[in-house]
Amino acid sequence: MRTRKLGSQGLEVPAIGLGCMGMTIQYGELDDEESKATINHSLDIGGSLLNSSDAYGKGKNESLIGEAIKGRRNDVILNTKFGNVTNPDGTGGTNGRPEYVKEACEASLQRLGTDYIDIYSQHRVDTEVPIEETVGAMARLITEGKVRYIGLSEAAPETIRRAHAEAPISCVETEYSLWSRDVEAEILPTCQELGISLMPYAPLGRGFLSGTIKSADDLIEGDRRSAHPRFAAENIEENNKKVAVIEKIAEGRGFKPAQVAIAWVMAQDEMIVPIPGTKHRKYLDENVRAIDIALVDDQLKQLSEAFPAGETAGERYPAGQMKRLGL
């Protein structure tokens, strides 16, 4: 599999990773066996980069990965996260306290069944704790041999700079796709300047850009996406007008719309390593093939023009969660 550099610290990763969140968080029907088969198939074809978080299913996602990779630790580049916590009242919170970083890492190691994490990232920035203190604790984990590289997620440019001044940051994981292009204004240029890789999550717009969600009825009851404004019935209809452009380009070249959406993200910079999520081997194969798709300039332009930044119908998260982004 083609590789890309993750940051400037020497780590080489597959040019595309596997997002594992949907294996435990309701994005359609869950299927543990197919999820584990998908992870193993990914490793078989060189897709070693697995993305998780201790927040996904409150640890269940890491446990599932731990089971799936038993006996194959050397085939895997494990990327997991900490700090996106649930408050006692059930609302979402953050925890970036140094003692918590250590504690969370130990728990993740246990669930993953390993003694080191390749890339350990802060899932959400804790504004109550100076970023230098959180990153300082992450850097100590490197010294202890428990972590190899560190990253951030949904961090503001200033936070990225301060963190990187404290200890080298290899990647920033943030939503980036045709329908979520806000990062182009400041975050992507900051990463480019500092030699940090951007790891776009939800490069398929949580599945929407694959053209498989044409109405709210395409989401099963309890699907997490139903709570996201972009998946409100009227917004699905509006946003699908733009998906037609992806579908047309895909059809013209014999590709799947999902592959075109991934190829567009990958074409934005060589330091971009997207992590599309799937729990199906069939989708994984399609997505990995997107690495070799070269969209021509005119197609890239058509796509960029069809999806102007900031013009997607509906916010990308429910209101409560929007407050914890870009801090």
Ligand X SMILES: NC(=O)c1ccc[n+]([C@@H]2O[C@H](COP(=O)([O-])OP(=O)(O)OC[C@H]3O[C@@H](n4cnc5c(N)ncnc54)[C@H](OP(=O)(O)O)[C@@H]3O)[C@@H](O)[C@H]2O)c1
Contact residues toward ligand X (CB under 6 A) are: 19-22, 27-28, 51, 123, 153-154, 173, 201-207, 210, 212, 256, 258, 275-280, 283, 286-287
Kindly state the greatest CA–CA separation across the chain: 54
In the bound complex, what is the minimum distance in angstroms from residue 245's beta carbon to ligand X? 17
DSSP secondary structure of 277-310: B-S-HHHHHHHHHGGG----HHHHHHHHHHS-TT
Residue 256 CB, shortest distance to ligand X, in Å, is: 6
Closer to ligand X by Cβ: residue 265 or 306:
265
3-state helix, strand, coil in the chain (%, to 5): 45, 15, 40
Q: Could you give the residue numbers annotated as active site?
A: 56
Nearer to ligand X, 217 or 297 (CB): 217
CB of 80 to ligand X, least distance (A): 9
Nearer to ligand X by Cβ, of 44 and 144: the residue is 44
Specify the pairing of strand 11-14 against strand 3-6: antiparallel
- Please state whether 317 falls in left (phi above 0), alpha (psi between -120 and 50) or beta: beta
Residue type, 50: L
Minimum CB distance to ligand X smaller for 27 or for 120: 27
SS3 261: helix
Amino acid at 7: G
* In the complex, minimum distance from the CB of residue 65 to ligand X, in angstroms, rounded to a whole number: 10
